[in-house]
Structure 1
Amino acid sequence: MAAENHHGGRSALIFLGTGCSSAVPNAMCLIQPSDPCHVCAQALSIPPDQNPNYRCNTSLLIDHCGSDGNHSYILIDVGKTFREQVLRWFTRYKIPRVDSIILTHEHADAVLGLDDIRAVQPFSPTNDIDPTPIYLSHYAMESIAVKFPYLVKKKLAEGQEVRRVAQLDWRIIEESIETPFLASGLQFVPLPVMHGEDYICLGFLFGERCRIAYISDVSRFPASTEHVISKDGAGQLDLLILDTLYRTGSHNVHFCLPQTLEAVKRICPKKTLLIGMTHEFDHHVDNKFLKEWSEREGIQVQLAHDGLRVPIDL
């Protein structure tokens, strides 16, 4: 395929969403505003494309420009706000399709947009199209088969009508750093992390020229995973994209800012962008704090925002 993307011959990361599962603005702040929330009020009053405090479910689009100049588009997670993200950011950045999908886990904010994948596939009322490869763990596959049986089963029962649905080619990956996989020509290394002590979620390490780790849902790093992405371990990351739910305190299944910054100091990447934020974060105010922290610690950290496009050499 020819390189359709108007940004030419370089890869990029596009942050389709940087918010928590309930997204920002938080609905409760708007329907019961007994204690007015500045961040949520602003998120509703300013157009989202001009407002970094408007946050959809966490999701990343990798625009991978190959050595032949052709672009492929790899989507990490397809949450509840996927259709909104397509309308907002696929149109802005002229993203024509999705070539591969990777899932971190099977929670609602990572998978409930799967039905809308058909909106970015060629139209066929009889589903006569090539399915989009989708990479996920065995555990996630079992859960999604219950949530979306019509997206998983291959054959219709006798007499069952054909209905247009997303066409997906389910590909099981291992929850192991020892078992990398290829998606649209780009290699990914699974990074198992704890998302609460009863649950393993996957992050991913990718990129040859630049080493990038994407970790959206984490409460603790197993030692083997931290080694792979740390400066004192397997080598310094060029970019770490990391979970941070609340500005203060702690949470049982997510990093909050204190734990996030401690992890950043241990891992010591060249640059970190934070994702997964609730309405506790005010983008401009907290990025000012993070700039001061970065200057003091010598590690660049900032909040990402929806629609952020980062050109990068993969």
Structure 2
Amino acid sequence: MERTAKADGSSLIFLGTGCSTGLPSPRCLIHPSDPPCPVCSYSLKLPPQHNPNYRCNTSLLIDYLVANDEHKYILIDAGKTFREQVLRWFTFHKIPRLDSILLTHDHADAVLGLSDLHCVRPLDSNGDVNPISVYATQECCDSVVLKFPHLSKKVHKHHEDIGQVTQVDWRIIQNDCHKPFIASGLQVCPLPVMHGEDYVALGFLFGDKCKVAYVSDVSRFPSTTEYIISKETGEQLDLLILDTNCIYLNGQKNTHFCFPETLDAVRRICPKRALLIGMNHGYDHHKINKDLLEWSEREGIPVQLAHDGLRVPIEL
């Protein structure tokens, strides 16, 4: 998979593919083990642009070709590393703005970057600031506004420079597979998933010509959600982007899939292709992808780890 700075049609750009702490893990650097953590150590040896083991918070940018040469830019999640992702990947892939944002849930690695949205705000033909549409459940919206009161709807004072204030147009969505919505011209279907047994997060299903399911934070698929995206019960996905946080089961009640659970889910859902995200420092990019090549040949489903900066052209 090669990085490219240009794309004429629609594409998916992986702004981040790591766990909540990102990689390298600060703990591994501040309190190094003996021997040092190999993945975190390696993630510092090369610049992030050339280092698939350097990972920011999980986030995806949908570069959607609406018609002719008109592109819309739809972001899924803006976590703690959002500013770094803008500086690194928006500039590299020549992304001029954001038109809308989809939020999977209200955890720090999905929403804390929202305070920096003013730097990618859309402008109209007169250069005036337009609000960014943010699609989230009511619970997620309420939680974010508590963290960042300036993201609530309000009338700005005359002396306030709105160019430095994030303006958000909140669009409330339901955690219901049967209640799709339109974001910047793209139809999106919410995919409720369990993120631990006491918390519901969202994945998203989108694409008309090619069907893509994005599920970044999941410990269990409810039967209705899995039914919607499975080959045996619905139309086969062209691409499944799926969470795989931990390399092994650790005996605890996890809030994310571990590697064996992710592969079991890929096998059940049976997409045409899968890319994995959300990896912690248990995943050495090159080693695990080599193992996944063997798994893919055996199971007949191409699966690889994604990496930060990866751009995947796709017809939507």
Same structural fold, with TM-score higher than 0.5 when normalized by the shorter chain: yes
Aligned partner of 1:272 among 252, 271, 274? 274
- Between the aligned partners of 1:148 and 1:191, the Cα distance in structure 2 is 26
Match of 1:33 in 2: 32
Match of 1:20 in 2: 19
Moved more, 12-21 or 245-254: 245-254
Alignment of 1:169-208 (within 5 A): 169-208=169-208
In structure 1, the residue corresponding to 2:52 is in which secondary structure?
A: coil
- Between the aligned partners of 1:160 and 1:7, the Cα distance in structure 2 is 41
Evaluate the alpha carbon distance shift between residue 273 and residue 258 of structure 1 in structure 2; reply closer, same or farther with a 3 A threshold: same
Evaluate the alpha carbon distance shift between residue 92 and residue 128 of structure 1 in structure 2; reply closer, same or farther with a 3 A threshold: closer
- Between the aligned partners of 1:82 and 1:228, the Cα distance in structure 2 is 31
TM-score by length of 2: 0.93
Q: Tell me whether 1:281 sits opposite 2:280 in the alignment.
A: no
Q: What are the Cα deviations for residues 71-99 of structure 1, in whole angstroms up to 9, with x where unaligned? A: 11000000000010011111111000001
Structure 2 counterpart of 1:285, which letter?
K
- Between the aligned partners of 1:54 and 1:299, the Cα distance in structure 2 is 26
- Between the aligned partners of 1:107 and 1:266, the Cα distance in structure 2 is 28
Q: What are the Cα deviations for residues 224-283 of structure 1, in whole angstroms up to 9, with x where unaligned? A: 000000001112100000000111115521000010011111100010000000011000
Q: Tell me whether 1:85 sits opposite 2:99 in the alignment.
A: no
- Between the aligned partners of 1:83 and 1:60, the Cα distance in structure 2 is 14
TM-score by length of 1: 0.93
Structure 1 counterpart of 2:267, which letter?
K
- Between the aligned partners of 1:122 and 1:208, the Cα distance in structure 2 is 25
Structure 2 regions of 5+ residues with no counterpart?
none
| 1:52 Cα deviation after fit | 0.2
Match of 1:257 in 2: 259
- Between the aligned partners of 1:97 and 1:145, the Cα distance in structure 2 is 22
Structure 1 counterpart of 2:264, which letter?
E
- Between the aligned partners of 1:161 and 1:182, the Cα distance in structure 2 is 32
Structure 2 counterpart of 1:218, which letter?
V
| 1:128 Cα deviation after fit | 5.9
In structure 2, the residue corresponding to 1:112 is in which secondary structure?
A: helix
- Between the aligned partners of 2:109 and 2:32, the Cα distance in structure 1 is 25
Match of 2:224 in 1: 224
| 1:145 Cα deviation after fit | 1.5
Structure 2 counterpart of 1:190, which letter?
P
Query: How many corresponding residue pairs?
Result: 306
Moved more, 27-36 or 14-23: 27-36
Alignment of 1:1-314 (within 5 A): 6-8=6-8, 10-35=9-34, 36-121=36-121, 129-155=129-155, 164-249=164-249, 251-314=253-316
Structure 2 counterpart of 1:212, which letter?
V
- Between the aligned partners of 1:156 and 1:67, the Cα distance in structure 2 is 35
- Between the aligned partners of 2:207 and 2:22, the Cα distance in structure 1 is 29
Evaluate the alpha carbon distance shift between residue 200 and residue 71 of structure 1 in structure 2; reply closer, same or farther with a 3 A threshold: same
In structure 2, the residue corresponding to 1:66 is in which secondary structure?
A: strand
Structure 1 counterpart of 2:31, which letter?
Q
The CA RMSD measured in Å over matched residues stands at 1.9
| 1:130 Cα deviation after fit | 1.2
Q: What are the Cα deviations for residues 24-58 of structure 1, in whole angstroms up to 9, with x where unaligned? A: 00001111113301111111121000000000000
Preserved contact between residue 78 and residue 109 of structure 2 (Cα < 8 Å): yes
- Between the aligned partners of 1:219 and 1:119, the Cα distance in structure 2 is 34
Structure 1 regions of 5+ residues with no counterpart?
none
Q: What are the Cα deviations for residues 179-220 of structure 1, in whole angstroms up to 9, with x where unaligned? A: 100011000000000001111000000000101000000000
Structure 2 counterpart of 1:95, which letter?
I
- Between the aligned partners of 1:91 and 1:145, the Cα distance in structure 2 is 29
Evaluate the alpha carbon distance shift between residue 44 and residue 207 of structure 1 in structure 2; reply closer, same or farther with a 3 A threshold: same
In structure 1, the residue corresponding to 2:204 is in which secondary structure?
A: strand
- Between the aligned partners of 1:189 and 1:294, the Cα distance in structure 2 is 28
- Between the aligned partners of 2:215 and 2:293, the Cα distance in structure 1 is 21
